[in-house]
Structure 1
Amino acid sequence: MKTETFSAPAQRGLSASAIKWFAIACMLIDHIAWAFVPTLSAAGFALHAFGRITAPCMCFFLAEGYHYTHNVRKYLLRLGVFALLSWPCYSYFESGTLRPETGMIWTLFFSLLAILSYDRIQNTALRVLAIAGCIAATLLGDWPIFGVVFTLVFWIYRGDFKKQALGFILSALVCAAFFSQLRSMRLFAMQLCVLLALFPLALYNGRRGGETHPRLNKWAFYIFYPVHLLLLGLLEFPIS
């Protein structure tokens, strides 16, 4: 990984590792709620509000990861392999069966491809077509469409958090309207809780963190994601 020099002292703020671990905890809370708590109950709303934090944080650090990686092909391969490994786990968690529902890592894979397309395709028409293809592919994943949109916003305005935040807020409003279909103000408000992600992201100090256990921090999300989905799925839909 490349390193940068920052004017702020290293001990201030939150490292990427700290925010990712927080986001993983929020994801676990969210998935437990989907499995066992009525969605629009007071408890369900509160738990899902925390859960909305995860996806924007992962999209943010996907853009950061693309900036720092020395080998984008390996990055894509890692995401692709775990997207496929996560597919049966996510599908079983969602329905107790195997269906073409591929989960969040699938969406992150195509979000990274969208950054790559935006960054390296010079022809505007081909670039738009490639990004549209990435967006369409996420319809099989979790956080469809908006995983790519959030990631592109964070990438395009990288280095200017105010513009990142503004772009994210605008896209989050569309996201909340899309997922709630404006049929329920409570559901709209719950989806709008993605904006809570701005609080930890605003504290990001630009450092990777996790130096004590770098391999654990690198692989934690990839491994935890399918494993926790499988375990929750088995609890929700026990095999008789």
Structure 2
Amino acid sequence: MSDKLPASFFPARFQILSGSALKMIAIITMLIDHSAAIILRLYAPALRPLFYLNGLAISTYRLCRDIGRCAFPIFCFLLVEGFLHTSNRRKYGRNLLIFALISEIPWNFMFANTWHYAKQNVFFTLFLGYLAFCAIEYFWENRWKQMLCLLALFGLSFIVNADYGWRGYIFLLIMYLLRNEKASQAIVGSCWLAYEWKACFAFISINMYNGKRGFIKGKAAKYFFYLFYPLHITVLVILRQVLFR
């Protein structure tokens, strides 16, 4: 990791989160979100209002889904960091695609409880972002080819129809292009996420990043981070079948 960090809107003393800490925040918020989407939506007490906010009923289920909105922006930030600092970009992209394919069956059962579901998992959105980053760098001296590649990938985001879709693809471009301007990244990114405004809180933790790798080291730990996505969905789907069959 580079020792020189883009300016954060937090003072240096608040930049206390390593890449590993951000990964843990991302997977925990994702786990909370998916637990609600798979389990709590079928559990009547979790759907009862805890309180009302501006006339809107807030339940345990709703709180968990809202907390989960923070996961995607953090994963996007980590993808940019990983792309910039990996020693093997080809292998990095290959891993994204492999785990996108591995995650398809758990993802399909998560939403449709069958082998086929029209929408694809979020790894495909991240993979399209990775391809866009590659295109930007490879065609840096040829802006026409660069733009054609980005537009082609934008069109592909509609065809693939992955989680977060074309909006997620554009958000990844925002995160990459503004990677050296943390304040602008947070402002523009938050404006883009206005349709899902709870996700904007993710920029708090992103701006607390200190540029250090942290405690997640080694191949086993790295691949567990990839594997957690299909694994936790599989466990939750099995629990749903046991509890609500």
TM-score under structure 1 normalisation? Answer: 0.82
Query: Which residue pairs with 1:50 in the alignment?
Result: 67
DSSP-derived class of the 1:32 partner: helix
Are the counterparts in 1 of residues 103 and 230 from structure 2 also a CA contact under 8 Å?
A: yes
* Contact residue 39 and residue 236 of structure 2 kept, 8 A: no
Seq. identity, %? 29
**Residue 151 (structure 2) aligns with:** 129
> Which whole-Å CA distance do the structure 1 matches of 2:105 and 2:83 have between them?
27
Distance across 1 between alignment mates of 2:154 and 2:127 = 14
Answering whether residue 18 of structure 2 is matched by residue 15 of structure 1, we say: yes
Counterparts of 2:108 and 2:33, CA distance in 1: 16
Structure 2 unmatched ranges of 5 or more: 6-10, 42-46, 48-56
Larger mean Cα displacement after TM superposition, 220-229 or 52-61: 220-229
User: Counterparts in 2 of 1:45-194, with a 5 A limit?
Assistant: 45-100=62-117, 101-121=119-139, 122-124=142-144, 125-139=147-161, 141-173=162-194, 176=195, 191-194=196-199
- Post-superposition Cα deviations, 1:177-213, rounded to whole Å, max 9, x if no partner, equal xxxxxxxxxxxxxx311011011101011111125x4
Structure 2 residue matching 1:209: 3-state secondary structure: coil
Partner Cα separation in structure 2 for residue 170 and residue 12 of structure 1: 23
Q: What is the match of residue 233 of structure 1?
A: 237
Q: For structure 1, which segment, 76-85 or 92-101, has the greater mean C-alpha deviation from structure 2 after superposition?
A: 92-101
Distance of aligned partners of 1:6 and 1:126 in 2 relative to their CA distance in 1, 3 Å threshold: closer
Segments of structure 1 that go 5 or more residues without pairing to the other structure are 177-190
Contact 1:135 1:144 in 2 (8 A): yes
Alpha-carbon distance in structure 2 between the residues aligned to 1:195 and 1:19: 15
- TM-aligned CA distance change 1:71 to 1:47, over 3 Å: same
Q: Is the 8 A contact 1:118 1:131 kept in 2?
A: no
Q: How many residues align?
A: 220
Change (3 A) 1:144 1:115: same
The one-letter amino acid paired with 1:169 is S
- Write the letter of the residue equivalent to 1:206: G
TM-score by length of 2: 0.81
- The code of the aligned residue for 2:164 comes to W
**Matches of 2:190 and 2:90, distance apart in 1:** 31
- CA positional deviation for 1:130: 2.7
* Paired letter, 1:80: L
Tell me the C-alpha RMSD between the 2 structures.
Answer: 2.5
User: Among residues 10, 19, 27, which one is paired with 1:24 in the alignment?
Assistant: 27
Deviation at 1:133, TM superposition (A): 3.3
Cα deviation code 1:45-77 (max 9, x no counterpart)? 211111001110001111111111222111111
| 9 and 160 in structure 1: CA distance in 2 versus 1, 3 angstrom threshold | closer
Aligned residue identity for 2:39: F
Cα distance, 1:235 vs structure 2: 2.1
Greater C-alpha radius of gyration: 2
Q: Distance in 2 between matches of 1:56 and 1:223?
A: 19
